[in-house]
Amino acid sequence: MATQAALPAYGAQASASRGSKRPKIKWGAIARHVILAIFALIIILPLVWVLLLSVKSLPDAYQNEIWPKTFDWTHYGYSLQKIPTLPQNYWNSILVTLGTVVVTTVCAVLAGYAMVFLQVPGIRIVFALLVASMFFPTRVTAVIAIFETQKDLGLLNVPAGLIFPYVTLSLALSVFVMRGMFQTVSKEIYDAARIDGAGPVRMLLTILLPLVKNGIVVVIIVNFVTAWGEYLLAKTLNTNQSAQTLPVVLAAATGGMGAWVWPRLAAVYIMAILPGLIAFGFAQRWYIKGLQEGALKA
């Protein structure tokens, strides 16, 4: 960032009489902000629309009033009570996502650590395979075999069974993020701790983990988003509505029909995206730092 405090400086510049150059720069900055603000609006407006839809009274919703004349806050409670499997679907999503996030994060931390600090025989082959897997659409190409494998294991229509295929969805990426993070740790810290007698486990838990926490946040968020919304496998593997996750149930719901009138559908939708957005709100500082430190370099 070259010049500091450019925004407040415009007034100052005007009085400092750098006449010829001033208007040009100012128009550029204004155009920049206008364009960015338009894009920000394009991002936010659809979400505002669905949020408003979820609190509209039914007549307002069906007359397509963008801003509701009468607010109706009951859609949230109603859909949870009256759509019989919904609390179960919600719980399935939470269970599957939690399991996937925890397992993948543990896997990625251990693997990333071993790749950077330990001599693992055959690591090059593992590494090459993981890289190759990122360019291979495993979830799509292998969905038939994943289905058969889950069937063999008796995991069809078992909500938690989804955890197994879900872990692999972002596993390679997670390992690379953690590997990238561990590479930013200086060798001196590692050697100093080793000379103090720290074994591989204690080293990882007490010394290295705090140093790579931004990367862990990235891994958690990436896997949360992957698992929380995954559709193809969830639809293929769990066909009983009570074993399904939220996105599959929502996608199957026909808007405007019966219990799924539009505002209720929108209410369930808001309940589906809110956990992620709230978590992101809390974690965004570390997330962006983590992206800059390790993830985008991988």
Footprint (CB under 8 A) of another protein, residues 179-218: 194-197, 200
Q: How many residues bind another protein (CB under 8 A)?
A: 103
| Three-state SS letters, 236-262 | HHCCCHHHCCHHHHHHHCCCCECCECH
Q: Does 277 bind another protein (CB under 8 A)?
A: yes
Rounded Cα distance between 212 and 216, Å, is 7
Nearest CA to 219 among 184, 170, 166? 170
What minimum distance in Å lies between the beta carbon of 46 and another protein?
6
Rounded Cα distance between 246 and 93, Å, is 6
- Taking the C-alpha atoms of 259, 260, 261 and 264 in order, what is their torsion angle to the nearest 10 degrees? 100
Choice between 262 and 286, CB closer to another protein: 262
Candidates 27, 49, 71, 282: give the one binding another protein (CB under 8 A). 49
Q: Does 138 bind another protein (CB under 8 A)?
A: yes
Q: Which range touches another protein (CB under 8 A), out of 35-43, 79-87, 180-188, 207-215?
A: 35-43
Residues 68-127 within binding reach of another protein (CB under 8 A): 103, 106-108, 110-111, 113-115, 118-121, 123, 126
Helix, strand, or coil (residue 152): helix
What minimum distance in Å lies between the beta carbon of 117 and another protein?
9
Nearest CA to 224 among 292, 278, 268? 278
Alpha-carbon distances of 83 from 88, 94, 252, 270, rounded to whole Å: 10, 18, 13, 16
Q: Which range touches another protein (CB under 8 A), out of 11-19, 78-86, 135-143, 207-215?
A: 135-143
Residues 246-265 within binding reach of another protein (CB under 8 A): 247, 250-251, 255-256, 262, 265
Q: Which range touches another protein (CB under 8 A), out of 3-11, 79-87, 180-188, 208-216?
A: 3-11
- Under a CB-based contact definition with an 8 Å cutoff, are residues 272 and 250 in contact? yes
Choice between 86 and 108, CB closer to another protein: 108
What minimum distance in Å lies between the beta carbon of 60 and another protein?
11
Structure tokens at 233: 């496998």
Which of 126-134's residues contact partners 24+ apart within 8 Å by CB, and which partners?
A: 130/171, 130/172, 130/175, 130/176, 131/172, 133/172, 134/172, 134/173
Choice between 80 and 142, CB closer to another protein: 142
Candidates 26, 32, 69, 213: give the one binding another protein (CB under 8 A). 32
Q: Does 23 bind another protein (CB under 8 A)?
A: no
Q: Does 30 bind another protein (CB under 8 A)?
A: no
Structure tokens at 193: 């701790």
Candidates 30, 35, 189, 259: give the one binding another protein (CB under 8 A). 35
- Under a CB-based contact definition with an 8 Å cutoff, are residues 69 and 60 in contact? yes
Choice between 16 and 25, CB closer to another protein: 25
